[in-house]
Amino acid sequence: MTPVTSFKGKTVAVFGLGGSGLASCHALKAGGAEVIASDDTPAKLAEAARAGFITADLRTVSWANFAALVLTPGVPLTHPQPHWTVLAAKQAGVEVIGDIELFCRERKRHAPDAPFVAITGTNGKSTTTALVAHLMREAGYDTQMGGNIGTAILSLEPPAKGRVHVIEMSSYQIDLTPSLDPSVGILLNVTEDHIDRHGSIEHYAAVKERLVAGVQRNGTAIVGVDDHWCAAIADRVAQAGRNVVRVSVKHPVADGICLEGDTIVRVDSGARSRIASINEIGSLRGLHNAQNAACASAAVLALGVSHEMLQQGLRSFPGLAHRMEQIGRQGNVLFVNDSKGTNADAAARALSSFRDIFWIAGGKPKTGGIESLREFFPRIRKAYLIGEAAQEFAATLGDVPHEISKTLEEAVPHAARDAQASGVGEPVVLLSPACASFDQFPNFEKRGDRFREVANALPGGLTPP
């Protein structure tokens, strides 16, 4: 745990008592603050009370003595309209912050030079966060990983000299972190997302920009420049005097890092030098993972990791569950769990990574369906359609061979049978649904777990990939 000492002797309201909210309560109390815990859910209030915290309905108490409101990132700060707690705080002149802001203040107070890597982007941030943490651990560093990727930041060990914090940040979390100042900041990409929470793509991009704009003066801002939003952000951050490393996996760069074949290359005033190879690293397949690897490489090099240790770390990276996860083989058939591919854009990244695909798709459909995936249809040997979207997807696929499988229990053995009979070099049974899971599963993790279970239960089972 990271005790929060910056509010010692003061009273702090915490609204939203999920994982990060409860962690904030414990960290504030450990640092000497008085905590008033609140939530709209009675069960959450009861859990906080059992943990020894004072609980209250913040509508019924005076805000005069609150030094701050610590807000869970899932609660609207600005759009579609501010949550009632935000309005109450503003009326009382109380600052509204999040748990990562509390961490930043502790770091500034006690260990301002402790390495802090913050990562954001519309896509790829979880993989990049996990990869940076893996590379730092493999290089022998005391590494703490958390934030949006799962573990609340205040549940991690506190910032200290030689200890690296690698933190994934959503736009919601950035919005609640006004003094965000990482030593290394990574912005991977910006595409339209979460507009309901930010009002416009312009505001969403501006929030993302703050992560790299706030990098410490002697730090490094790493920006993927393959979309026009991030290209413009990189220029502005550089003009503001920050050290910017531009990363592209789609075109050459005059200065920065780019991809040449399977090699990550640094370009410095036209001079090229090899950083690392991602050739035949299964956990880093696809152009999107090349970007993740290039940005992660830039980050760890900025923190002093050697090229040799970087290459070793890339090769040993296992990848993340449900994100292009290679779960095993049956003969020459590779089984890939990309259950996190919950929309067409995410599924496109998986489909672009393989040639002979036996594609399991479907679930609760998203707006637009799979129309945008037509360029990848020639890669699909056959599709196996499940869930509510099956009929809609069948109509879009048209002449592409497909069947209505309805469930994973039917789709997986049929796809495995057809892949084994296909006679191609490396057929791939790919679960990348392009849909939400909620028609048949509570979340994408449960869907991916079931895919893994059914695949491993095939006659003969799977061997490691």
Which residues contribute to the annotated binding site for ATP? 121-127
Token output for 82: 């501010």
Helix (H) or strand (E) holding 447: helix 444-456
**Amino acid letter for position 398:** G
Annotated binding-site ranges? 121-127
Residues 6 or more apart in contact with residue 300 via CB below 8 angstroms: 132, 135, 136, 139, 310, 313
Cα torsion angle, 18, 23, 28, 32, sign: positive
Is 386 within 8 Å of 363 (Cβ atoms)?
Answer: yes
CB 391 within 8 A of CB 404: yes
Assess contact for 209 and 195: CB atoms under 8 A.
no
Cα angle, residue 69 at apex, residues 63 and 71 outer, rounded to 5°: 140
Nearest to 320 by CA among 296, 356, 344: 296
Q: What is the CA radius of gyration of the chain?
A: 23
Which neighbouring-strand residues pair with 268? 271
Distance of alpha carbon 77 from alpha carbon 46, whole angstroms:
25
Using CA atoms, how far apart are residues 130 and 234, in angstroms rounded to an integer?
24
DSSP string for residues in 316-351? T---BTTBSEEEEEETTEEEEE-TT--SHHHHHHHH
Alpha-carbon distance of 373 to 264, in angstroms, equals 28
